[in-house]
C-alpha cells in the first residue's frame, strides 16, 4: 500500500487530477472508448459519480464524448490525445522512479522481486 501511495505521488500535481480521474482515464487508455455505464461499472462507482468525473475531465480537455454509433441515446467517452499524453507522462515518471530504486537493490533482492511478480499476477487473476 505504501509503495502504491508513493507511486501515486509521482503524478504532476499541477494538472489537478485526482486518483478517480486518473483511474477513469487509465481505463480508457487500456480498454478503449467506453459507454458511461460501462466506465462506471469498471470503476465500481455509481453513474452520477462517473458523470461528474467525466464532466471535469472533459472540461480539462482530457476526454471527449461522442454519440454511440449503435445507440444515439448514449455517448461514448474517448480519451483525447492530451489525456493520453498526461497518462503516459505520469507512467514514465513512475517507471523511472521505480527503475532507479530497483537498480539500487542487490541481485538477490531483484530475483526475489522477479518471483514475487509472478505470484502477484496469479493473485490478481483469481
Distance (Å, whole) CA 41 – CA 108 = 41
> Read out DSSP for 13-43?
GGG---HHHHHHHHHHHHH--EEHHHHHHHH
Among 1.10.10.10, 1.10.15.40, 3.40.30.10, 3.40.50.620, what is the CATH number of 2-125? 1.10.10.10
* pLDDT lower than 50: segments of the chain: none
pLDDT in tens, 63-83: 999 998 898 888 999 999 999
Distance (Å, whole) CA 126 – CA 43 = 18
pTM above threshold 0.75: yes
Amino acid at each position: 500500500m505504501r509503495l502504491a501511495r508513493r507511486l501515486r505521488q509521482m503524478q504532476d500535481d499541477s494538472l489537478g487530477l485526482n486518483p478517480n480521474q486518473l483511474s477513469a482515464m487509465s481505463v480508457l487508455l487500456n480498454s478503449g472508448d467506453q459507454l458511461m455505464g460501462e466506465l462506471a461499472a469498471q470503476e465500481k462507482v455509481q453513474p452520477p459519480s462517473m458523470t461528474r468525473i467525466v464532466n471535469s475531465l472533459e472540461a480539462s480537455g482530457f476526454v471527449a464524448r461522442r454519440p454511440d454509433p449503435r445507440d444515439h441515446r448514449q455517448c461514448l467517452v474517448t480519451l483525447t490525445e492530451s489525456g493520453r499524453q498526461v497518462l503516459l507522462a505520469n507512467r514514465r515518471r513512475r517507471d523511472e522512479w521505480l527503475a532507479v530504486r530497483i537498480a539500487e537493490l542487490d541481485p538477490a533482492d531483484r530475483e526475489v522481486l522477479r518471483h514475487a511478480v509472478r505470484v502477484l499476477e496469479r493473485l490478481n487473476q483469481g
